[in-house]
Amino acid sequence: MSSDGSERDGPGAGIRIGSVSHSALNFGSHGSATTTNSPPGTAGPGQDELLAAVRALRADLTRLEATRDAQILDAELVATEAEITGSGGAGPGRLALLRDSLADAGQVAGALVSGVALAELLAALLGG
């Protein structure tokens, strides 16, 4: 029924919704709609700790001589940090790449407490 009390049928009658995102819709006199949105970058289980470990190792790497392996490791750390902050978590593929870069950087990462801590955390997250 329109605001003037008349019934509307036929061409042009009805409701048109162009697009909706991050919302819930309800139609009808007794319905309800609820939505819960999480902002991008909401970290999942273990991801907050991983992010802290990644940032700690990056900070420690700046204090060392920039070797090729350290630069590659830093690039993986940057990519991991971006994935965690952008999507809420680093996936298994990213974690495996980071683990491999950490292993390749061996002496550099192994000499740092933050490198050892990250290696242990990756082993726990990857299950090995």
- As a whole number, the mean pLDDT across the chain is 82
Please indicate, yes or no, if residue 62 is contained in any of the structural domains: yes
Q: Residue 122 and residue 97: Cα distance in Å, rounded?
A: 11
Do residues 27 and 72 touch, judged by C-beta distance below 8 A? no
Determine the straight-line distance between the first and last CA of the chain, rounded to whole angstroms: 65
Please indicate, yes or no, if residue 12 is contained in any of the structural domains: no
Please indicate, yes or no, if residue 91 is contained in any of the structural domains: yes
Instruction: Read off the pLDDT band of 11 (50, 70, 90).
Output: low
pTM: 0.64
Domain of residue 57 covers: 47-126
What is the per-residue pLDDT across 29-52, written as a single tens digit (0 to 9) for each? 777 766 655 555 455 668 999 999
**What is the pLDDT at residue 41?**
47
